[in-house]
Amino acid sequence: MMRGLKDKVIIVTGAAQGIGRAIALRLHEEGANVVVADRNKSGAEKVALEITSQGGNALAVGLDVAERDEWKGALLEVVNRFHRIDGLVNNAGVTRDSTLLKMSDEDWDLVIDVNLRGAWLGCQLTVPYLKNNGGSIVNLSSESRWGAFGQSNYAAAKSGLVGFTRTVAIEHARHGIRANAVAPGSTNTPMLEAVPEGVRQSWIPNIPLGREADPKEIAAAAVFLLSEDASYITGQIIGVNGGSSL
Ligand code: NAD
């Protein structure tokens, strides 16, 4: 077991599937109360049911992370139910890949709004609650933050999260709040289903461990950063990528 997660209240955005779902389930295993937040409310409800049917505490909330008013409503629901907030995982993310010259305004704006603005809103509105409890924030960056073909929007958002995460860590260390990011490499989730199988296979030779990540392997790093075992870690970006950045 990781230290200090029992009975803590942790919000995970984009938790209806993929990495967010794996983080929610692992947090439950560690004894936390989990807020399963997603714009896909019925998907969030399914994950919450997986947790409650195992005797855990979970609350499903519908939330579009790019919308300030939706955050306000979601946080009221969380506080009504659990009376505190101890952690936040800004995991909701989308891709809309195309090369620079073909990219539409809509695809640029959506990717920046969900991945970057969503994490900013989440931190701005949740930090006042975390201030009372210490607390820990984990943002989901990506290996693509270094730049990736067809991903000028996504690379900008995910590298933007690096500076953002480090700044939150600097500003709120005095309140006992830690902020870190996990930067996954290729991970086997529904997000990657948009990528043709041949392209996915072509990435494998560049991964020293020779395979994509399982979502549970990303969740392990995120949950570690939320836990007391990471009590002296803040402002860090942890690559979980099978060595692909080497
Ligand atoms: P996914 O597409 O499988 O799941 C993303 C979830 O986010 C979905 O449940 C979706 O409904 C939700 N979501 C999307 N937009 C939302 C919004 N506006 N508000 C609330 N919820 C929203 O993705 P995943 O692979 O599990 O990715 C999770 C995170 O990890 C993302 O931030 C992604 O960018 C990042 N990441 C993924 C990979 C990968 O290879 N899968 C690699 C690096 C980083």
pLDDT tens by residue, 106-123: 999 999 999 999 999 999
Share of the chain above pLDDT 90, in %: 98
Q: Residue range 91-97: average pLDDT?
A: 97
Instruction: Reduce the DSSP state of residue 78 to 3 states and report it.
Output: helix
Residue whose token pair is 């700044």: 167
Going by pLDDT thresholds of 50, 70 and 90, the confidence category of residue 194 is confident
For the Cβ of 90 lying below 6 angstroms from any atom of ligand 1, the answer is no
Instruction: Give me 59's structure tokens.
Output: 């609350």
The closest of 31, 28, 182, 185 to 119, measured between CA atoms, is: 182
Average pLDDT, the chain: 97
For the Cβ of 160 lying below 6 angstroms from any atom of ligand 1, the answer is no
Residues in contact with 127: Cβ distance below 8 Å, sequence separation at least 6, in sequence order:
137, 168, 172, 175, 177
Going by pLDDT thresholds of 50, 70 and 90, the confidence category of residue 224 is very high
For the Cβ of 151 lying below 6 angstroms from any atom of ligand 1, the answer is no
From the number of C-beta atoms within 10 Å of its C-beta (0-12, 13-18, 19+), residue 36 rates as: buried
In this prediction, residue 51 carries a pLDDT of: 98
Instruction: Give me 18's structure tokens.
Output: 């993929």
Structural contact between residues 18 and 92, judged by C-beta atoms closer than 8 angstroms: no
Structural contact between residues 61 and 70, judged by C-beta atoms closer than 8 angstroms: no
Distances (CA, A) of 124 to 71, 72, 78, 130, 148: 10, 11, 16, 11, 29
Structural contact between residues 29 and 6, judged by C-beta atoms closer than 8 angstroms: no
Query: Residue with the nearest Cα to atom 44 of ligand 1?
Result: 142
In this prediction, residue 133 carries a pLDDT of: 80
Ligand 1 atom nearest 213 alpha carbon: 40
Query: Residue with the nearest Cα to atom 8 of ligand 1?
Result: 14
Instruction: Reduce the DSSP state of residue 20 to 3 states and report it.
Output: helix
For the Cβ of 155 lying below 6 angstroms from any atom of ligand 1, the answer is no
For the Cβ of 165 lying below 6 angstroms from any atom of ligand 1, the answer is no
Instruction: Reduce the DSSP state of residue 98 to 3 states and report it.
Output: strand
From the number of C-beta atoms within 10 Å of its C-beta (0-12, 13-18, 19+), residue 220 rates as: middle
Pocket test for ligand 1, best of 65, 94, 139, 141 (most atoms within 8 A of CB): 94
Instruction: Reduce the DSSP state of residue 62 to 3 states and report it.
Output: strand
Read off the pLDDT of residues 6-65 as tens digits, 9 standing for 90 and up: 999 999 999 999 999 999 999 999 999 999 999 999 999 999 999 999 999 999 999 999
For the Cβ of 20 lying below 6 angstroms from any atom of ligand 1, the answer is yes
Distance of CA 43 to the CA centre of its chain: 16
Ligand 1 atom nearest 43 alpha carbon: 9
Instruction: Reduce the DSSP state of residue 238 to 3 states and report it.
Output: strand
Q: Residue range 86-114: average pLDDT?
A: 98
Ligand 1 atom nearest 143 alpha carbon: 43
Going by pLDDT thresholds of 50, 70 and 90, the confidence category of residue 129 is very high
In this prediction, residue 132 carries a pLDDT of: 78
For the Cβ of 19 lying below 6 angstroms from any atom of ligand 1, the answer is yes
Query: Residue with the nearest Cα to atom 19 of ligand 1?
Result: 64
Just list the catalytic residues: 154
Residue whose token pair is 């020293």: 208
**Residue 192 predicted with pLDDT over 90:** yes
In this prediction, residue 42 carries a pLDDT of: 98
From ligand 1's centre to the CA of 190, what distance in Å?
A: 8
Residues in contact with 202: Cβ distance below 8 Å, sequence separation at least 6, in sequence order:
none
Residues in contact with 65: Cβ distance below 8 Å, sequence separation at least 6, in sequence order:
13, 14, 37, 39, 71, 90, 92, 114, 118, 119, 121, 122
**Residue 134 predicted with pLDDT over 90:** no
